[in-house]
Amino acid sequence: MADILIKNAIVITMDGERRILRDGAIRIEGNRIVEIGSTGDLERKHAANKVIDGARKVVMPGLVNAHTHLCYAFGRTLGYDNYLLDWLKIQKPLTAAFTPEDWEIAETLGCVENIKNGATCVNELNIAAQEAYEESVDERCLKSFEKTGVRAVLSRGYQDDKTYYFAAFGESREDIVARMERLVREWHGAAGDRIRIQLAPVTPWTCSPELFRETRRMADKHGIGIHLHTAETRDYDKLVKERFGYAGNVEYLDDVGCLGPDVQLNHAVWLSDADLARIAATGTHCIHNPTSNMILASGVSPVPKMFALGINVGLACDGMACNNNQDMISTMKFASLLHKVHNLDPRAITAQQVMEMATINGARALGLDKDIGSLEPGKKADLITIDLWKPHLVATLDVVGAVVYSANGSDVCDVIVDGEVIMEDRVIKTVDEADLLERTQRAAEDCLKRVGFTHLMVPQ
């Protein structure tokens, strides 16, 4: 007997053939997909403990939010209409003032928002001020992933710069290595392998060559990924040149051994043709954050060029304060539209390509594509349903176009991660959402008062 049978659905598999089934069904046992086929065939062959009727719904792989900062939840309505470095002057003091409880609240809220918008996997990069680093901070973040049921990669941010920029976030290399070794030992593969750890030297210009080489050593030792912001704004190359003498981000990263198939370069906006050639030659992945790049006027990542060179590109919302939501479905639309108008080419990035970016490409970038990113027998049961029976979606004739250009996160009905239903009919099953919202609002206001930013509240 199957644990779950989803029937009567349009199934977007994202498998190697990109098959789409009109009257499709999926059988789940434990945390794995065991069969995909027609509703009639699977119903005849198998009973199930739980049946989900997918009539008038799409079933598709859970979305992979390949880069975010859930920890910026309290600043999501602050600092907008600024360039990145000015925006950070508002955001960094907030997280520097977080209590351990604030970390738990912000991370839990971010997980819930991602789930409600159809992201079953998040790659969270967080970094705390040095004085805030206690075991409880890391533990509270990771336990938020554990209790909400989301699949999560914690890309633990760090830097050894203590003087140049946001010095409060700087640490010794010895402390960084000790923390990362502990996190890998205690949490990599936790929650039935639903939680992974990555290394996150946060930017090229706040991390020394020695720290990058230590990062490469740890990555090779543990077989884990490296994730960092790269070439997000025009300032990045200038800052790397000032600090370390390299012509740019990619040259620096190549020299210190931090390009390769286990590396994800986030943003990757201001890249030369030579940079792109290095990225392609090393099999390095890029993560595209179209919405935050637009909000902060950072620039437009050369994604069509990346595709032409065979570079794998995942998709991400970016943080809760620079998007300013966690809606991966809307992010797909923004990604496609941005490149159409930027290149004056309606085919610059197609609906099919952005759906790949949001599913299998993101999974591949995070080293998870053997388990997630597509619906195939043997893969983990991470999937979502989307309600098509709405005024803005009814009359769907091309389901890929409907999801990318017409849907939004609030159309997601059900979310299954690792074979567990964690949202059903838009009700989160793992946490008390109403209580979480109350706690978040109180905590955000208290944090703003501690930092002395109450003048930013509108209305007062």
Question: How many folded domains does the chain comprise?
Answer: 2
Cβ count near 381 (within 10 Å): 26
Identify whether residues 9 and 129 lie together within a single domain: no
Residue 322: what pLDDT?
92
What local confidence, expressed as pLDDT, does residue 119 receive? 99
Rounded to an integer, what distance in angstroms lies between the CA atom of residue 451 and that of residue 429?
A: 34
Q: Is residue 439 part of a domain?
A: no
Q: Tell me if 347 is assigned to some domain.
A: yes
Q: Is residue 229 part of a domain?
A: yes
52/124 same-domain check: no
CB 205 within 8 A of CB 231: no
Q: What is the pLDDT of residue 131?
A: 59
Q: Are 249 and 345 part of one and the same domain?
A: yes
Residue 184 and residue 39 share a domain: no
The answer to whether the beta carbons of residues 315 and 332 sit under 8 Å apart is yes
- Read off the pLDDT of residues 211-268 as tens digits, 9 standing for 90 and up: 999 999 999 999 999 999 999 999 999 999 999 999 999 999 999 999 999 999 999 9
Residue 240 placed within a domain: yes
Residue 25: give the domain boundaries.
2-61+380-428
Q: From first to last of its 460 residues, what are the pLDDT tens digits of the chain?
A: 569 999 999 999 999 999 999 999 999 999 999 999 999 999 998 889 999 999 999 999 999 999 999 999 999 999 889 998 898 889 988 988 898 899 999 999 999 999 999 999 999 999 876 555 566 788 889 999 999 999 999 999 999 998 866 777 899 999 999 999 999 999 999 999 999 999 999 999 999 999 999 999 999 999 999 999 999 999 999 999 999 999 999 999 999 999 999 999 999 999 999 999 999 999 999 999 999 999 999 999 999 999 999 999 999 999 999 999 999 999 999 999 999 999 999 999 999 999 999 999 999 999 999 999 999 999 999 999 999 999 999 999 999 999 999 999 999 999 999 999 999 999 999 999 999 999 999 999 999 999 999 888 898 7
Q: CB-based contacts of 449: which residues, under 8 Å, 6+ apart?
A: none
CB proximity list for 283: less than 8 A, separation 6 or greater: 260, 261
Q: Same structural domain for residues 246 and 147?
A: yes
Tokens encoding 60 = 């598709």
Cα gap 326→70, rounded to integer Å: 9
Q: Between the CA of residue 260 and those of 50, 227, 240, what are the distances in Å?
A: 43, 11, 20
Token pair in block for residue 455: 């003048």
Give yes or no: residues 284 and 174 share one domain.
Answer: yes
CATH code for the domain of 52:
2.30.40.10
317/119 Cα distance (integer angstroms): 10
Q: Is residue 30 in some structural domain?
A: yes
Same domain, 133 and 276: yes
